[in-house]
């Protein structure tokens, strides 16, 4: 019994101590919590100097977004499994208004599947559109939105893509992954790239950019810091079908040419000279005793009866090779540059001058181009 009384006395002391601790916690914890909260609220911002350039860049980006967003549209192509079934989206992309008649430029691959074409605008307007013309080669298409008042149509301004330089800051505006009116930025990583359309024909003069371009951006504008369209975002080089920092945009000068022709005639014709080509290589330089700094298009073969054949270009032999080094006085470093110039700056029936290096001689050959 004596041991039990001792145990009870010890337990009472312990319980009393616990109670006292609980009371002290009630008294001091709120004060401690309040001190922490005050400290959090009063933490000064980091002492990081924001440059004037950065704040100016942010202002410009914001102004461009506010100015150009009303011109950019979201495009949804929908199909019905049966006449009574609801419409289900099968293709989603972007586009932009180019005139007050409601014409919209987008990518051909966005609207390649037949279906209902729904246009959503920045102000909340939703309307139907129809295809005016398509060009699988350039991957461009022109739509016309229906029943939208003129005051809701805000055409974009175009820049001259011939004036672009590698390193320029650019902005992509579109609807990646259905996240409408998303702005991303980057630079022009390279110029005069070549891409292939859905018909496997290729175009040159293409802009490469590291601005984030993802599914849904297709058909949206690539912009300079004046808010002008310098290209139409079209493709990405990625194994995952998402941005990898290598995107491609169709240059604005080609876009304007194709769109104008599609609106006026519903079709577009490209110039053709009729050659096959190879890339310059060390073996070719060695085999044909070419200057090791020569740049141009190595003519592999010439199609019989084609404009190049009529003009006097020659297919490669064991002892001779033609290298096209310029077109109308403009240097040509590779085939991408050549077809870019032909498609953007010439029309079937035009006569161009090709500068050709052959066996140590420089020739100037006039070529009358035809429709491809």
Alpha-carbon distance of 193 to 204, in angstroms, equals 6
Alpha-carbon distance of 193 to 208, in angstroms, equals 7
Q: Which residues contact 346 (CB under 8 A, 6 or more apart)?
A: 271, 352, 369
Listed residue (253, 242, 188) closest to 217, CA to CA? 242
Token digits of residue 251: 């240059």
One-character DSSP codes across 276-294: EEE---HHHHHHTT--TT-
Alpha-carbon distance of 106 to 108, in angstroms, equals 7
Token digits of residue 256: 């304007």
CA angle 83, 89, 92 (to 5 degrees): 145
Alpha-carbon distance of 178 to 94, in angstroms, equals 10
In b/e form, how buried is each residue of 162-200, taking b as 16+ CB within 10 angstroms? eebeeebebbbbbbbeeebbbbbbbebbebbbbbebeee
Query: Catalytic: which of 69, 138, 161, 218?
Result: 218
Is 109 labeled as catalytic in the residue annotation? yes
Is 322 labeled as catalytic in the residue annotation? no
Token digits of residue 246: 């290598």
Query: Catalytic: which of 69, 74, 135, 139?
Result: 139
Is 218 labeled as catalytic in the residue annotation? yes
Query: Catalytic: which of 74, 109, 161, 322?
Result: 109
Alpha-carbon distance of 241 to 264, in angstroms, equals 35
SS3 196: strand
Listed residue (223, 219, 109) closest to 158, CA to CA? 223
SS3 56: helix
Neighbouring-strand partners of residue 353? 366
CA angle 176, 134, 87 (to 5 degrees): 55
By the 10 Å C-beta count (0-12 exposed, 13-18 middle, 19+ buried), 14 is classed as exposed
Residues with a catalytic annotation lie at: 109, 139, 218
């Amino acid at each position: 019994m004596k041991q039990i009384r001792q145990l009870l006395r010890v337990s009472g002391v312990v319980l009393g101590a616990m109670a006292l601790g609980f009371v002290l916690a009630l008294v001091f914890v709120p004060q401690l919590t309040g001190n922490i909260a005050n400290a959090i609220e009063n933490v000064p911002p980091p002492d990081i100097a924001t440059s004037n350039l950065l704040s100016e860049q942010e202002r410009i980006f914001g102004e461009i977004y506010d100015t150009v967003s009303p011109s950019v549209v979201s495009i949804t192509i929908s199909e019905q499994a049966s006449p009574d079934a609801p419409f289900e989206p099968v293709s989603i992309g972007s586009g932009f208004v180019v005139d007050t008649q409601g014409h919209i430029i987008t990518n051909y691959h966005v609207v390649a599947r037949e279906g209902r074409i729904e246009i959503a605008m920045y102000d909340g307007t939703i309307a139907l559109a129809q295809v005016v013309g398509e060009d699988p080669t350039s991957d461009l298409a022109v739509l016309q939105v229906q029943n939208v008042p003129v005051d809701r149509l805000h055409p974009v301004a175009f820049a001259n893509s011939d004036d672009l330089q590698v390193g320029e800051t650019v902005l992509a505006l579109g609807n990646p992954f259905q996240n409408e009116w998303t702005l991303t930025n980057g630079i022009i990583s390279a110029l005069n790239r070549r891409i292939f359309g859905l018909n496997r024909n290729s175009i040159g003069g293409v802009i490469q950019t590291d601005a984030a371009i993802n599914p849904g951006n297709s058909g949206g504008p690539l912009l300079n810091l004046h808010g002008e369209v310098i290209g139409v975002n079209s493709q990405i080089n990625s194994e995952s079908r998402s941005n990898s920092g290598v995107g491609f945009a169709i240059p604005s000068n080609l876009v304007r040419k194709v769109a104008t022709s599609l609106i006026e005639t519903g079709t577009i014709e490209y110039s053709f000279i009729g050659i096959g080509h190879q890339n310059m290589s060390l073996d070719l330089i060695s085999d044909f005793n070419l200057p090791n700094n020569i740049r141009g298009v190595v003519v592999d073969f010439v199609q019989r009866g084609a404009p190049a054949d009529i003009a006097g270009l020659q297919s490669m032999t064991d002892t001779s090779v033609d290298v096209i080094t310029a077109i109308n006085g403009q240097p040509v470093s590779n085939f991408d540059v050549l077809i870019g110039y032909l498609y953007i700056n010439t029309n079937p029936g035009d006569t161009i001058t090709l500068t050709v290096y052959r066996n140590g001689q420089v020739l100037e050959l006039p070529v009358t181009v035809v429709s491809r």
